[in-house]
């Protein structure tokens, strides 16, 4: 439930959530949430968060927050919007939303933004997976994905900075899902993953890595025929939509499954070259 800012400690940095509709937790308290009301205030917070640590000029604010309907009293409008946003942030002293000669900069600690915490966990999870620590990788990546509450910046407008950051965050989430499934496959959770992987391949039928994971999950579950059928379906889909065959690694996996290669039942998960 949103609470009055007066009830919170004004000296602590706010927590900001951008992995879904915008959320603000003043004074760094996760149990308290202040509503980010008003489309202009949400657009301003979104644009500033996408540029976190960099100055956003007053001209940029006018262009991205007001777009085609810029106010007559431009400087006053920007100042009022900044004042309202500071109230939402619990920042009466201007400690976290700083004034600069050319504009304003959001300067909250990196760990106080949910996307930064998620990015750190994804990095730790991928490092653990590369080191053969599948259990740790799965835990880190599951925690990272739990930060997503919906589409990033869901109610923050479409400024250029926000659109670019959304693209980056969607890519981060895709990497996290891919790596978490690899970790779970390495842990022998292939049966539990089949339903999720069928949903992922149906939602994005041209994304080859999830097809590879689905084939392996099926094969390790004793469903060789279904694993081979998945490859045939992918090959048909790629041919009809892009005029290409599956990548070499998928072709090799298919041949190994035709030969009933028992080496695929355990060991590391084959990965596609797109992964870093």
Return the bridge partners of 100, or none: 103
CATH superfamily of 190-276: Tetratricopeptide repeat domain (1.25.40.10)
> In whole angstroms, how far apart are CA 92 and each of 47, 102, 156?
20, 20, 23
pLDDT, residue 3, reads: 37
Closest CA to 174 of 162, 164, 166: 166
What phi and psi values does residue 16 have, to the nearest 5 degrees?
-125, 130
Report helix, strand or coil for 141.
helix
pLDDT given for residue 28 in this prediction? 59
Hey, what CATH topology would domain 5-108 get? Arc Repressor Mutant, subunit A (1.10.10)
**Within 13 Å of residue 146, how many CA atoms lie on the same side as its CB?**
7
- The pLDDT assigned to 276 comes to 33
Taking the domains of the chain in order of start, what are their residue ranges? 5-108, 190-276
Q: What is the pLDDT along the chain (276 residues), one digit of tens a residue?
A: 333 333 344 458 899 999 999 999 987 566 677 778 889 999 999 999 999 889 999 999 998 888 767 765 778 899 999 999 999 999 988 899 999 999 999 999 999 999 999 999 999 999 999 999 999 999 999 999 999 999 999 999 888 999 999 999 999 999 999 999 999 999 999 999 999 999 999 999 999 999 999 999 999 999 999 999 999 999 999 999 999 999 999 999 999 999 999 889 887 777 654 443
pLDDT of residue 242: 95
260 backbone dihedrals φ, ψ, rounded to 5°: 55, 55
Q: What is the per-residue pLDDT for 31?
A: 67
Residue 175's Cα: distance from chain center in Å?
9
Please, is 114 exposed, middle or buried when counting C-beta atoms within 10 Å of its C-beta (0-12, 13-18, 19+)?
A: buried
């Amino acid at each position: 439930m949103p609470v009055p800012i007066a009830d919170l400690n004004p000296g602590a940095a706010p927590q900001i959530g951008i992995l879904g509709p915008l959320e603000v937790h003043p004074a760094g308290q996760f149990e308290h949430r202040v509503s980010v009301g008003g489309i202009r205030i949400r657009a301003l917070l979104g644009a500033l968060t996408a540029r976190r640590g960099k100055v956003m000029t007053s001209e940029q604010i006018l262009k991205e927050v007001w777009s085609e309907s810029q106010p007559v009293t431009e400087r006053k409008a920007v100042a009022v919007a900044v004042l309202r946003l500071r109230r939402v942030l619990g920042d009466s002293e201007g400690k976290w939303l700083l004034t600069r000669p050319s504009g304003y900069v959001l300067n909250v600690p990196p760990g106080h933004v949910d996307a930064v915490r998620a990015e750190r966990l994804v990095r730790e999870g991928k490092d653990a997976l590369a080191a053969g620590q599948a259990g740790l990788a799965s835990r880190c990546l599951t925690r990272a994905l739990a930060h997503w509450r919906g589409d990033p910046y869901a109610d923050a407008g479409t400024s250029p900075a926000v659109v670019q950051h959304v693209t980056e965050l969607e890519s981060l989430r895709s990497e996290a899902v891919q790596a978490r499934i690899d970790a779970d496959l390495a842990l022998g959770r292939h049966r539990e993953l089949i339903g999720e992987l069928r949903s992922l391949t149906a939602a994005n039928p041209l994304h080859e890595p999830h097809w590879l994971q689905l084939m392996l999950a099926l094969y390790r579950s004793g469903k060789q025929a279904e694993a081979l059928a998945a490859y045939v379906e992918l090959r048909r889909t790629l041919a009809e939509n892009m005029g290409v065959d599956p990548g070499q690694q998928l072709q090799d996996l298919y041949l190994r499954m035709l030969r009933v290669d028992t080496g695929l039942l355990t060991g590391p998960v084959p990965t596609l070259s797109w992964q870093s």
